[in-house]
Amino acid sequence: MSERLQPGDTAPAFTLPDADGNEVSLADRRGRKVIVYFYPSALTPGCTKQACDFTDNLDVFAGAGYDVIGISPDKPEKLAKFREKENLKVTLVADPDKTVLDAYGAFGEKKNYGKTYMGVIRSTIVVDEEGKVERALYNVRAAGHVAKIIKDLEI
């Protein structure tokens, strides 16, 4: 299990394919603030709620200078279906090898109904213009999380 990021840490670099197979890189966002959120699986109720909340508030984030990138272990094809089915506008990228999930501390031990297993830890990392971690939020809830980020960032 990887270490969780802390404010002030350098955000791990990544280049991953989006729903259309185009490369999305954190380095390409240098000079802008980026909200990177990690979710377990496309087309599931909680992840759909969260992706729709981000999509509904994209203009709010963009107006405050933030880009939003959602990362899951799904393949690009599944992300494309997710985007089409839910009419999502948020950038979704695929990390099937879980290397970026691991680098950000968003993959590890979870407990559910008394069972322990390895999985995606729903997390949100706010990266500043210089590529440093501004906030690192782990074990977040899907519902209400976007509203909390907007409030916390005073957007």
Active site residues: 47
From 122, 116, 126, select the one nearest 149 (Cα to Cα): 126
DSSP code per residue over 62-123: HHTTEEEEEEESS-HHHHHHHHHHHT--SEEEE-TT-HHHHHTT-EEEEEETTEEEEEE--E
Q: How many CB atoms lie within 10 A of CB 128?
A: 15
- Helical residues (DSSP H) of 2-75, grouped into ranges: 45-56, 58-63
